Amino acid sequence: MRLILLGPPGAGKGTQCKRIADRYEIAHLSSGDILRAERAAGTELGQKAQSYMDSGRLVPDGIIISMMIDAMIKAVGGYVLDGFPRTVVQADQLDKSLAEAGEEIVGIVNLRVSDDRIAGRLTGRRSCPQCGAVYHIENLKPRVENICDKDGQKLVQRADDTPEVVANRLKAYHEQTAAVVGYYEGRGKAVIDVDAAGGIEKVTASIFSKLDVLCSQVG
C-alpha cells in the first residue's frame, strides 16, 4: 500500500504516519527525517540542505526528488510519504516516476488545521535524537519529563521550531505546498480530508476508519 499524508507543519503528519506505518506494516518515509539524518551524518546532501532548513525555506526540488525516489525504491512493502511532495513540481515528478514504475498511490490524506493552533504544537514539540520518537510538552508528555520513554535519551527541541522559523515555514506552506491538494484533485485523485484540530487519538481514529475502508478495497 502506498499513501501520502499532506498537511501544514505541525499538523501531526509525523505522529500519525508512525501509527499508520505500524498498523498497515509499511515504511514511514519522512523527507524531513531523511534530511536531518543526512545532516547528522555530514553528507554533501545534508550540507546543501542546511541553510534552507534552518531558515524555514524549502530545500530545492531537485535535491528532494532524487532523495525521496531512492527511499521509495528501497521500501518494497509499501510506504506512507510524510512531508513529500511539498511543491507541485515534486508532485508532478512523483507521478511521473510512479507511472514509469507501473505503481500508484492508493490514498492521499490531507490533515486540516488552522495556523493559530500550529505555533503551540511546534514550539512545544520535543523529539528523541536517538529513535526519533516525538512528544509534546503538554499534549503528549513522556513518562519522565524530557526523557524518551523508549530509550531513556534526553529529548531535544528542533532548531527550526522557534517562532521566527515557524512563521517562515507556514509562509512556505501557504505559498508553495497548499497547492499540492489542488494538483491531485485536478488530476481526479480523491483526497481524504481529515480534521486534525482535535486531539491525537481522535485524529488517529478518523484516519484509520478511512484507511481501513481503502485497504479493504485494494486488498
Residues that bind ligand AMP (CB under 6 A): 9, 31-32, 35, 52-53, 56-59, 64, 83-84, 86, 90, 160, 169
CB of 188 to ligand ADP, least distance (A): 26
Query: Active-site residue 158, yes or no?
Result: yes
The catalytic position among 2, 86, 121, 126 is 86
Query: Active-site residue 23, yes or no?
Result: no
Which is closer to ligand AMP, CB of 107 or CB of 160?
A: 160
The catalytic position among 18, 23, 141, 158 is 158
CB of 12 to ligand AMP, least distance (A): 12
Give CA torsion, residues 13, 14, 19, 23, to 10 deg: 80
Q: Which does 169 bind (CB under 5 to 8 A by kind): ligand AMP, ligand ADP, none?
A: ligand AMP
Cα radius of gyration (the chain): 17
Q: Which residue has the cell 527511499?
A: 71
Which is closer to ligand ADP, CB of 91 or CB of 113?
A: 113
Query: Active-site residue 112, yes or no?
Result: no
Q: What's the CA gap between 43 and 114, in Å, rounded? A: 35
Q: What's the CA gap between 125 and 159, in Å, rounded? A: 11
**Nearest alpha carbon to residue 5 among 132, 114, 111, 79:** 111
Query: Active-site residue 143, yes or no?
Result: no
- Cis bond before residue 85 (omega within 30° of 0): yes
DSSP class of 8: -
Q: What's the CA gap between 81 and 49, in Å, rounded? A: 19
Query: Active-site residue 19, yes or no?
Result: no
Q: Which does 84 bind (CB under 5 to 8 A by kind): ligand AMP, ligand ADP, none?
A: ligand AMP
- Give catalytic residue positions: 13, 86, 125, 158, 169
